[in-house]
Structure 1
Amino acid sequence: MNAQKIEKYGDELYEALVARKTVAPLLEREPDITINDAYRIQQRMIERRVQAGETIVGKKIGVTSKAIQDFLGVFQPDFGQLTSGMSYADGSTIDIDTLIQPKAEAELAFVLKDDLIGPGITAMDVIRATDYVVPCFEIVDSRITDWKIKIQDTVADNASCGVYVLGKTKGDPRTLDITLAGMVVEKNGELVSTGAGAAVQGSPANAVAWLANTLGALGISFKAGEVILSGAQSALLPIKDGDELVCTIGGLGSCKVAFSGRSAA
């Protein structure tokens, strides 16, 4: 795909984000689009956010479960970039009016104390470079109409990033078993999902190592202080006005978020 089209679709997705509207799937309009093309479109979309005053604060890993990989027809995770405008504190109430067609998922977030420079990064390297882990919610949101996405669509759309919420309780991954620690998600006081770190590429640290190596091959490194969302351990949950979600990870603690308003879609 030529540079003119890359810029066109990146700008289109950014403008859809700002206007809180959707666009037709890119793959329907560009049947030959590759995943590499999609990442270039994603980069253009992120450039527009940075030009508007945001900063890049980390990365998110998506498509970590076999069910989602089968649905999208791909057999490795993808990634998107986190910006300063996406971050919410534990206990926040998120105005759904600022989103388009959001859904929530619970996962484990890593905050780094050291740089991670791939390739050659192992899960143990990830643990050593991590300052702490926290439970978190990612509120995914697609700028693609009706979530009619294939892997090229979601990658171009910054891996369907919306916003995220980090819990307050900080855990040490050197003493917490992040693979076996159970996760429980409650919605409005009722149990709606359970999971464990092993559902994410065998361990959330494996997913982070994969991304460090993928980025390293592109000459990009993780920086100390960055936040890495390691991939969903819960089901994807619809949200609406008045909902409250609580995610609890055994041995670590909880993260809570509430919602008000009505999404654009």
Structure 2
Amino acid sequence: MNNQLKDHVYHAYEHLRQAELEKKTVAPLTELYPDITVEEAYQVQMRFINQKVQKGQQIVGKKIGLTSHAMQELLGVDQPDYGHLLNTMEINDKGDISMSKVFQPKVEAEIAFVLNRDLKGPSVTIEDVLDATDYIVPALEIVDSRIAEWKINLQDTIADNASSGLFVLGNERFSVLETDLTKIEMNLFRNGELVNTGYGSAALGHPAKCVAWLANKLYEYNVTLKAGEIILSGALSAAINAQTGDRFTAGFTHLGKVEVSFS
């Protein structure tokens, strides 16, 4: 049984690895391996992350996905998922992303937490998260998928590192005590045109609730959120497709702006 499980995970991993090597999107894992479980999908994700770490990349944080009820309903789930952030995934504010480095990118705006102490489940609360937060910054996540045409189910996105491609952090840091995070308004612009609006409350009712969920979820795997880690707490509105020549700017009340371009 263990060997069958390992084979199952290995073939799914190889399927996505080939997509990365050839820079071509591939069929959904859930089509090729209909019985793949959420647990196995996380094993695929960790195999990828471990391989990258062995080659010198560093884990700098986590991202939380599926924090909106709309996305959860779309994929038929009742909880978020998570992926890993690597140092090679960070783009400078006002930086440029070559379309040759991504598959089919979409842009989301969210609030990023940077921790000043460890957070370990299983009973982390919103208050614990706020107490453990060094600062917050506005952020853009460039979600991406190796699965053709974004035809993903939950297991597909989890295996593919929760569809996390790149991320951008604003340069100015803010205290979590300075404002009510649920009432922060975000306006996302593409090439100067408003394309999306959202509020902090869109992420499970409170962005810090998402971070608490993650800390408690990771307890199941004996993983602790570490001081210094960056946590992308979840999109405040729908993801917007990015194309060559696009410039995205997200403006947040109380948190300023963050920007990225595609070429």
In the TM superposition, structure 1's runs of 4+ consecutive aligned residues that sit over 4 Å from their partners are none
- Structure 1 match to 2:64: 61
Structure 1 stretches lacking a partner, 5+ long: 261-265
- Structure 2 match to 1:11: 14
- Structure 2 match to 1:28: 31
- TM-score, normalising length from structure 1? 0.95
Distance 1:9 1:53 in 2: 23
Distance 1:36 1:124 in 2: 29
- TM-score, normalising length from structure 2? 0.96
- Structure 2 match to 1:169: 172
Distance 1:247 1:158 in 2: 24
- Structure 2 match to 1:129: 132
3-state SS in 2 of match to 1:152: helix
Superposed CA offset, 1:197-221 (max 9, x none): 1010000000000000000122100
Q: What amino acid sits opposite 1:226 in the alignment?
A: E
Distance 1:9 1:72 in 2: 20
- Structure 1 match to 2:240: 237
1:4 Cα shift? 2.0
1:234 Cα shift? 2.2
2:74 to 71, 74, 81: 71
Q: Is the 8 A contact 2:57 2:86 kept in 1?
A: yes
Q: Is the 8 A contact 1:14 1:48 kept in 2?
A: no
- Structure 2 match to 1:149: 152
Q: Tell me the number of residue pairs that the alignment of Structure 1 and Structure 2 aligns.
A: 260
Alignment of 1:89-108 (within 5 A): 89-108=92-111
- Structure 2 match to 1:140: 143
1:31 Cα shift? 1.3
Alignment of 1:196-235 (within 5 A): 196-235=199-238
Distance 2:23 2:236 in 1: 27
Q: Is the 8 A contact 1:112 1:226 kept in 2?
A: yes
Q: Is the 8 A contact 1:11 1:48 kept in 2?
A: no
Distance 2:91 2:18 in 1: 22
Distance 2:17 2:117 in 1: 31
Q: What amino acid sits opposite 1:21 in the alignment?
A: K
Q: What amino acid sits opposite 1:129 in the alignment?
A: A
Superposed CA offset, 1:101-158 (max 9, x none): 1111110101111110111100010001011101111001101111110001101111
Distance 2:131 2:21 in 1: 38
Distance 1:113 1:225 in 2: 6
1:66 Cα shift? 1.2
Q: What amino acid sits opposite 1:254 in the alignment?
A: K
Q: What amino acid sits opposite 2:36 in the alignment?
A: I
- Structure 2 match to 1:187: 190
3-state SS in 2 of match to 1:162: strand
3-state SS in 2 of match to 1:179: helix
Q: What amino acid sits opposite 2:41 in the alignment?
A: A
Distance 2:91 2:204 in 1: 26
- Structure 2 match to 1:258: 261
1:243 Cα shift? 0.8
Distance 1:65 1:17 in 2: 28
Q: What amino acid sits opposite 2:55 in the alignment?
A: A
1:162 Cα shift? 0.4
